[in-house]
Structure 1
Amino acid sequence: MGDTAFMVVADSRSSPRSGDVSVTKIGRRWITVFDGRQERRFDSETFGIDAGGNGCWAHLWPSKALYEAEVRRQAAWWRLRCLAEYKTAPAHLSAEQIERLIETLRAPSEAQPTRHE
């Protein structure tokens, strides 16, 4: 143990806070960390906190850089979703460009099989 992770915590009483934590134990089901004040337990698959129903939300990340990259990714996705809510296609995009966007966004499991000739 002794590894460092990055934790983001939010609850209904205060604004979100984040910071580095020390990993104290890694088990099959739980990862336990120490944030300088208390130990917290996170699910080893979802990396969500074991809050015990107290209204606290927290998530564990391998690093601050990975957390910040995901925040940027989600913000970009939100901007894209807002743009896609036009009732008609944007005039500057051709049908081919829109179809390429669809293929790019299609989940890997939904992708059409590639034909090998």
Structure 2
Amino acid sequence: MYCLITHTHMNLGHLMVNDMKVATEKKKQGLPYGIFFTHTFHALEVDMTGKVREKFKDSKEYNKKTLRLMGFIQNEDGEWVKKGVVTPQKGSEQDSDSDEESEDEEEATT
């Protein structure tokens, strides 16, 4: 994220290879970027005969539970959006009423 914000050049290939090295040290994690490499090899017409292409397991599909665990919520339009901090909108009636009530309570206590 730092490199994106500061417009610093980075070697994405190097980062991906290092990420894959770390993943090999973990027992329950598969190699990352599998789908990316498959699409890249297919686009570059790399001969992949003899390789068995596996279908995704149900556990690898994103469903409602998975999205909720990743911090997403479904809005009124049915779209999944990242859960964020809700800030009050300016000019809403509820905010101005609550501000007036809190001011009245402060005056009553003094």
TM norm structure 1: 0.19
Higher share in helix:
2
Task: Say which structure, 1 or 2, has more relative contact order (CA 8 Å, 6+ apart).
Answer: 1
TM norm structure 2: 0.19
